[in-house]
Amino acid sequence: MARAEFARVSLRERQSIEPYLKQKPVPLGRIAQALGLQVLVSSLPAGVSGKIEKTGDNFTIRLNRNESRERQRFTLAHEIAHFLLHKDILQRTGEIEDTVLYRSGQPQRIEFEANRLAADLIMPDEGIESDLRRLQTRFTEEAFDAVASEWQVSKAALEIKLGPVYS
């Protein structure tokens, strides 16, 4: 994990999620479980992708049931990232609720951090590297679609991860 955000996650939490980052696709539900988070697919207002809220001593993540599976996966990773990085805010405010643009009323920096860690959780460097190299060497639409589907990520997310080689 190359990114700065991952290094900020506590050692104990990193150790409990690292085994799951070696799997393809990454079992985000298991990661949430390992962290003691409850995950519910809920009827949220249109325009809200998800939220994480304090429920007693623990936290509950809600995902908007009307969004696509890939989208729900990214939102789940984003909310897990808020838990890992922004517990202080969650303790203070009780919840972070994200719009479809992953805005929450928190400073934009907070949302960028959550998005970067979310991308690393759904597409861990060590796992996806060989797939990216293959696409960079010989790009075809079919191969690109296959990789997105194997990792259960949106094509937009994979395109960002693949970087400017894709053109």
Site residues (vs Zn ion, CB under 5 A): 98, 102, 104, 111, 114
Please, which residue, 26 or 114, has the CB nearer to Zn ion?
114
Please, which residue, 70 or 98, has the CB nearer to Zn ion?
98
β-sheet bridge partners, residue 53: 60, 95
Give the CA count within 13 Å in the CB-facing half-sphere of 34.
Answer: 17
Quick one: three-class SS letters along 107-138?
CHHHHHHHHHHHHHHHCCHHHHHHHHHHHHHC
What is the closest distance, in whole angstroms, from the C-beta atom of residue 54 to Zn ion in the complex?
15
Please, which residue, 75 or 135, has the CB nearer to Zn ion?
75
Name the percent of the chain in helix, strand, coil, to the closest 5: 60, 15, 25
Please, which residue, 102 or 147, has the CB nearer to Zn ion?
102
Q: Which residue in the shown chain puts its C-beta closest to Zn ion?
A: 98
What is the closest distance, in whole angstroms, from the C-beta atom of residue 134 to Zn ion in the complex?
32
- Across the chain, the runs of DSSP E, i.e. the strands, are 38-42, 48-55, 58-64, 95-99
Tokens of 74: 């990214």
What is the closest distance, in whole angstroms, from the C-beta atom of residue 114 to Zn ion in the complex?
5
Tokens of 137: 């060497």
Length reported for the chain: 167
Please, which residue, 64 or 104, has the CB nearer to Zn ion?
104
What is the closest distance, in whole angstroms, from the C-beta atom of residue 5 to Zn ion in the complex?
13
What is the closest distance, in whole angstroms, from the C-beta atom of residue 118 to Zn ion in the complex?
9
